[in-house]
Amino acid sequence: MAFYIGRLHVHFPKAIRKIPILLRAEVSGKRVEVWARTNGSDAFVFREVFIDGAYDSSLLPPSPQTILDLGGNCGYASIFFGARFSSAKLACVEAMPWNVDVCRANFSRSRTQAVLFPNAISATGEALDIFIDTYDGRHSAMRDASGTSGTAITVPGITVTDVLDKLGWAQCDLLKVDIEGYERVLFRDTPQWLSRVNAIVCEIHPPYTEEELKLDLGDQFSVRHFPASGEPVFIAVRTR
């Protein structure tokens, strides 16, 4: 098994493929250490967040006080935001039980103070069937997502409104969304909870388009493409 982190080629002999490794990065002058499973997807997300700068944009609010991470995966985005915006309160929602365990380990290792919700973010609050993808980083509530096997696990759902209310946040200054296609359900028809969000950084997945995202967010947000990682990431900032 082999993968690349930046320009570095890393090879794992078969005997140690299930042993987590420790990766290090620097964010805003702060050293960060995180665990990575040797599954390929953790290395990709590490590179995306800490090397390619997927969420390192001047378009983001300069000093957000509340940051909510939807689709936390192994916790890297939350850890990045915690290091960059040290005064912010953090919360993370992650559906896959094995990712939740890694999030907890990474938050502890990096000393990131984040509230972790072991739930699927749900437009209605109902439980969601999450379909297992052949690639560990692409499990999705959308059965038509690329690579899903048809095998699913059912995960308790929670709405954005319920998360904000449980946290006691009147507003979310920055909402990060990477939920493998479910964003087209979450944002559909400009949900009321958007009035409590000041900025969004979102990766979209086909068949959802930039035009549909802009339509769903409405004229209360200005939406711009942020191509740092090569992925279809968009930043939306409240205009009124």
Distances (CA, A) of 56 to 8, 102, 178, 181: 21, 23, 15, 22
Number of domains in the chain: 1
Tell me if 122 is assigned to some domain.
Answer: yes
Taking only the tens of pLDDT, the chain with its 240 residues reads 344 444 444 444 454 446 789 999 999 999 999 999 987 789 999 999 999 999 999 999 999 999 999 999 999 999 999 999 999 999 999 999 999 999 999 999 999 999 999 999 999 999 999 998 876 677 898 877 656 667 899 999 999 999 999 999 999 999 999 999 999 999 999 999 999 999 999 999 999 999 999 999 999 999 999 987 778 999 999 998
Q: Which domain holds residue 147?
A: 57-238
Tell me if 36 is assigned to some domain.
Answer: no
Residue 194 near residue 159, CB atoms below 8 Å: no
Distances (CA, A) of 95 to 118, 121, 171, 236: 6, 8, 23, 24
Round to whole Å and give the CA distance between 210 and 207: 10
Tell me if 180 is assigned to some domain.
Answer: yes
Tell me if 16 is assigned to some domain.
Answer: no
Tell me if 144 is assigned to some domain.
Answer: yes
Residue 107 maps to which CATH number?
Answer: 3.40.50.150
Tell me if 18 is assigned to some domain.
Answer: no
Reading the block at residue 208, the tokens are 């959802």
